[in-house]
Amino acid sequence: MNFDKLKEQWDNEPNDHIHIPDSLDKLKAAQTPVDAVRRQMRNEFFLQIAALILLAFAPLIFRLEPLMTNVFLFCYAMVLTFTAYYFYKFFTFYKQSYNMTYDSRNNLLWFYYELKLNIELYKALSYITYFIGFSFGVLIVLIHKVSGEGNLDSLAFLDTIAGAFPRLYFVVLLVFSLAFAFSIAEIVPRYYYGKHLKKIKKILDELDELE
Amino acid sequence: MKTNEKAFLANIEKHKGVLYKVSRMYMDNTEDQEDLFQEIVLQLWKSYDQFRGDSQFSTWMYRVAINTAMVFLKKEKRKSMTTAYETEMDIAAEEYTHEKDTQLEYFYKAVHELNTVEKALIFLFLEGQSHKEIGKNLGLTEVNARVKLNRTKEKLQKIIQANGYEF
């Protein structure tokens, strides 16, 4: 194969048919993984904010008694603290520019590890939120049982179920809530970000390939 | 239009052939090539502030173009409506298929069977970059770039032969 000849043809390939726009305003699309991830992260951010706002009204919705409201507020404050830390890291990643002028390896490595870190933080936050939520649930039931405080009409169904199947109820609740927490923490980030990580990892492996 | 944007577009006009070649190497159909072309221009514009002029525009452009092409995501579902830009940026790839330079046609066809990094190696080689420059752009050592490039050339040759062509 004559690469010199090929190069000559390559150099002489006509380009008259390519038309550049006279303004950059028409350029809207962004289809790099960084842009796609940023879009997704932005959507998630708004979703989490909405969920947190909604959660703040839980004591009113469930008509919690003062003691239980205090316990709720304590748990809610913990969730807010962890979420604030996550958002801080999230914004650091979000605001960092994707420096295309690095060499390919540096560029890919930066993105790969930053995204991985953010996914791990997301998982950690999901599990923490789950355990706080679960602990709150247990505390509510304990307070209700031990002190008898609060005539929880809205939670009366718990008594009925727990009365009928006390152990089974607890196990089923634990299993379902764990499954829910697991799917939120593990499957969601894999679904949204996994393909990007996989693609970047594949290119990094190709760069590292030495045989 | 701002002076900065005007200067940028003038540079793009000057090097549009290179951007077209990258798009053609990485994407196998005209619509995806147009999208990638557009994406590279967009990424170049977004990174334009980082271009300080202490290196040539083309040197900087190669890096951004390759980095964009390597990770570019094809549109999964193509919209029936095209944007004004897509219509305007009419890359008449069909013209080539009727031209005499069949070697380039076979070359482009074979290139699509290479992996992401191999495409970058061949592209930078054809753009006349040394092993050192190729290594610098991709984050490889000079020796590694040379070894990989030689292997890629051999692979490309085999693909072209397997496709029933020889040159």
Q: How far A7 CA sits from the closest chain B CA (Å)?
A: 6
DSSP B14-55: HHHHHHHHHHHHH-SSHHHHHHHHHHHHHHHHHTGGG--SSS
B70 shares its domain with B125 = no
Tokens of A149: 């405080």
Are B164 and B112 found together in one domain?
A: yes
Closest CA to B34 of B47, B48, B46, B20: B20
CATH number for the domain spanning B121: value is 1.10.10
Give yes or no for a contact between B34 and B72, defined as CB atoms under 8 angstroms apart. Answer: no
**pLDDT (tens digit per residue) in B100-136:** 467 888 899 999 999 999 999 999 999 999 999 999 9
End-of-domain residue from the set B43, B74, B97: B97
The neighbour count for residue B22, using CB atoms within 10 Å, is 26
Is pLDDT of B99 > 60?
no
Domain final residue, candidates B64, B97, B130: B97
Task: Give residue B98's pLDDT band: very low, low, confident or very high (50, 70, 90).
Answer: very low
Pair of tokens at residue B104: 């380039």
| A residues 79-108 lying closer than 8 A (beta carbon) to B | 97, 99-108
Pick the last residue of a domain from B42, B68, B97: B97
Residue B64 and residue B92 in one domain? yes
pLDDT in tens, A68-101: 889 899 999 999 999 999 888 888 887 775 667 7
Alpha carbon of B85: minimum distance to chain A alpha carbons (Å): 6
Say which range, A9-23, A141-155, B6-20, has the weakest mean pLDDT. Answer: A141-155
CATH of the domain at B61: 1.10.1740.10
Contact between B107 and A3 under an 8 Å Cβ cutoff? The reply is no
**Residues whose CB falls within 8 Å of the CB of residue A40, separated by 6 or more in sequence, listed in order:** A192, A193
Same domain, B84 and B104: no
**B73 and B114 housed in the same domain:** no
The pLDDT-based confidence of B79 (bands split at 50, 70, 90) is: very low
pLDDT of residue A210: 61
Mark whether B68 and B1 lie in a shared domain: yes
* Per-residue model confidence (pLDDT) at position A97: 56
Higher pLDDT among residues B39 and A143, named by residue = B39
CB contact under 8 Å between B83 and A26, yes or no, is: yes
Confidence (pLDDT) at B158: 92
* Beta-carbon contacts of residue A68 (< 8 Å; ≥ 6 apart): A59, A140, A143, A149, A150
pLDDT tier for residue A160 given thresholds of 50, 70 and 90 = low
**Nearest chain A Cα distance for residue B5, angstroms:** 8
Q: Are residues B93 and B104 in the same domain?
A: no
Query: Is the same domain home to B112 and B30?
Result: no
What tokens does A56 get? 């703040």
Alpha-carbon distance of B162 to B164, in angstroms, equals 5
Residue with tokens 């085999």: B158
Residue that wins the pLDDT comparison between B100 and A26 = A26
- Burial degree of A176 (CB within 10 A; 0-12, 13-18, 19+): exposed
**Residues with Cβ < 8 Å from A91, sequence gap 6 or more?**
none
Predicted confidence at residue B86, as pLDDT, reads 43
Chain B hits for A199, CB-CB cut-off 8 Å, are: 71
Residues 6+ apart with CB under 8 A from A144: A150, A152, A155
Residue B28 Cα distances to A103, B105, B118, B143, B157, angstroms: 25, 12, 16, 31, 19
Partner A contacted by B88 (CB < 8 A): yes
Among residues 32-51 of chain A, which lie with CB inside 8 Å of chain B? 32-34, 36
The residue-averaged pLDDT of B139-148 equals 94
Domain range for B38: 1-97
Q: Specify the number of domains making up chain B.
A: 2
Q: Stretch A11-22: mean pLDDT, rounded? A: 82
pLDDT of residue A18 exceeding 90 = no
Q: Who has greater pLDDT, A158 or A207?
A: A207
Task: Read off the pLDDT of each residue in B141-153 and give the average, rounded to a whole number.
Answer: 94
User: Is B134 found in the same domain as B67?
Assistant: no
Q: How confident is the model at residue B94 (pLDDT cuts 50, 70, 90)?
A: very low
Confidence band for A65, pLDDT divided at 50, 70 and 90: confident
Tell me, what's the pLDDT at B129? 93
User: How many CB atoms within 10 Å of residue B116?
Assistant: 19
Query: What is this model's ipTM?
Result: 0.79
Distance between CA A114 and CA A119 in Å, rounded? 9
pLDDT above 70: percentage of residues in chain A: 84
Residue A205 clears pLDDT 70, i.e. is over it:
yes
Q: With cut-offs at 50, 70 and 90, classify the pLDDT of residue A165.
A: low
Which of A1-15, A70-84, A120-134, B74-88 has the least mean pLDDT?
Answer: B74-88
Candidate from A93-97, A145-149, A200-204, B30-34 with smallest mean pLDDT: A145-149
Structure tokens at B99: 């031209």
